[in-house]
Amino acid sequence: MLLVPSRAGQTVCFHTTKTRLLVWVLVSVICIGTVTVHGVRAVVRYVASLDTEQAVERPPTVRAGRIESARVAAYQLEMRQMQREMDRVERENDTLREATDLLASGFAQAVDRHQEQMAQFTRLTSIPLPDAEADGEPASPEDGDGRGGPLGPLSELNVSTPGLRAAESELHEMLALTGRLQRLNIRLQAQQHLLRSTPMLCPLEGRWHLTDAFGRRRHPVTGAADFHNGIDLSAPSGTDILAPADGVVTFVGRQSGYGRLVIIDHGTGLLLSGRDGPESVPFQTYYGHLRRSLVQVGDQVERGQAIAEVGSSGLSTGPHLHYEIRVAGEPVNPLDFIADR
């Protein structure tokens, strides 16, 4: 084999066999392949380490933003489901109202017909007195022909039979309508009471925004990890806080962490997202960090009534309302219930 340089230089000549040359080629290929494999592995490990570092160094705000986006999407889905359920309940209420009005109208007509039949029955079964008694003197036995005999049952009087049957039919119809009307009215009132006891109204009007959501967080004052039992709604100090449903005030005063606090017991309300559909559950609502309260323990409050003012008492960084909803004593996400936000 001759190695001739491209420029002027000494030519190298050496001798080998085909077998040796083949061995050298195979060894070279193996070495190159080994180096290539190790190089690819090194590149893969380097890229993986870069991804890990980027994941570690990714700003918390980015991760929080993604988590918040997922929560917002979940809230929107739950709100759409709740709105559909509320529409269904409202349609059912409308149907009950129409049925109630129809039954009330039928009941009034049945009462009128019954009174008319009873008046006719009275006219048909009345027995006029003899003319001789018109002047106030009883009839003498010697006057005229004597007649008498026991009275037969009224059902045998041909003249009164149609009146009795019609009156009886109208009476049964009226009683049936009355029963249906009472049952529908009781059901409608119970459902309306459940809806008015369900905290679906936003407790703030005007300018406000959500500053802290429900769930795990770092406390804005202490910096410690904790679980947020409600939501924080930032608003100007002195803004009126409204009762989201009918209820009774059970607590007014100071409590550790909450500052000035008002608690309302709403009794039994309607949980639209129950496991097997809407179900009746007890509701309570908490209002913390108040500037001042406008109610006292034992007060009956109605939906939309002002109960307190936004403040910054207790562990707080500024004026806001801490709002909690508790179902059977357990805190739940208030955003799942606010229908007018």
Answer whether residue 271 is part of any domain: yes
Task: Provide the edge-to-edge strand list for the sheet that holds 240-242.
Answer: 240-242, 306-310, 290-293
Answer whether residue 167 is part of any domain: yes
Which residue among 196, 223, 257 closes a domain? 196
The reported pTM is: 0.51
Count the alpha carbons within 13 Å of 122 in the hemisphere toward its beta carbon. 6
89 and 17 assigned to the same domain = no
Please check whether residue 188 is in contact with residue 101, taking contact to mean a CB–CB distance below 8 angstroms. Answer: no
Which residue among 139, 169, 196 closes a domain? 196
213 and 329 assigned to the same domain = yes
Residue 217 φ/ψ, nearest 5 degrees: -165, 175
Domain residues for the domain of 52 are 2-57
* Three-state secondary structure of 253-266: EEECCCEEEEEEEE
262 and 172 assigned to the same domain = no
Following DSSP, what letter does each residue of 86-125 receive, concatenated?
A: HHHHHHHHHHHHHHHHHHHHHHHHHHHHHHHHHHHHHHHH
160 and 247 assigned to the same domain = no
Least confident of 78-92, 121-135, 197-211: 121-135
What's the Cα-to-Cα distance from 146 to each of 129, 135, 149, 151, 293, rounded to whole Å? Answer: 15, 20, 11, 16, 91
Answer whether residue 132 is part of any domain: no
Give the E-state strand segments of the chain in sequence order. 2-3, 12-13, 209-212, 215-218, 225-228, 231-234, 240-242, 247-255, 259-271, 279-288, 290-293, 300-301, 306-310, 320-327, 330-332
Q: What is the pLDDT of residues 208-231, one digit of tens each?
A: 999 999 999 988 888 888 899 999
Closest of 163, 317, 306 to residue 234, by C-alpha: 317
Select the highest-mean-pLDDT range: 79-83, 97-101, 314-318.
Answer: 314-318
85 and 174 assigned to the same domain = yes
Q: What is the pLDDT of residues 105-156, one digit of tens each?
A: 666 666 676 666 566 555 544 444 444 344 444 445 455 555 555 544 444 4
Answer whether residue 83 is part of any domain: yes
State how far the Cα of 169 lies from the Cα of 158, in Å rounded to an integer.
Answer: 18
Answer whether residue 62 is part of any domain: no
Average pLDDT over residues 46-72: 63
Q: What is the pLDDT of residues 5-42, one digit of tens each?
A: 555 556 666 666 667 666 766 777 777 777 777 777 77
Which residue among 134, 169, 196 closes a domain? 196
Number of domains in the chain: 3
Answer whether residue 143 is part of any domain: no
Q: How many CB atoms lie within 10 A of CB 200?
A: 18
163 and 248 assigned to the same domain = no
17 and 51 assigned to the same domain = yes
Closest of 80, 88, 341, 308 to residue 195, by C-alpha: 88
Answer whether residue 35 is part of any domain: yes
Answer whether residue 142 is part of any domain: no
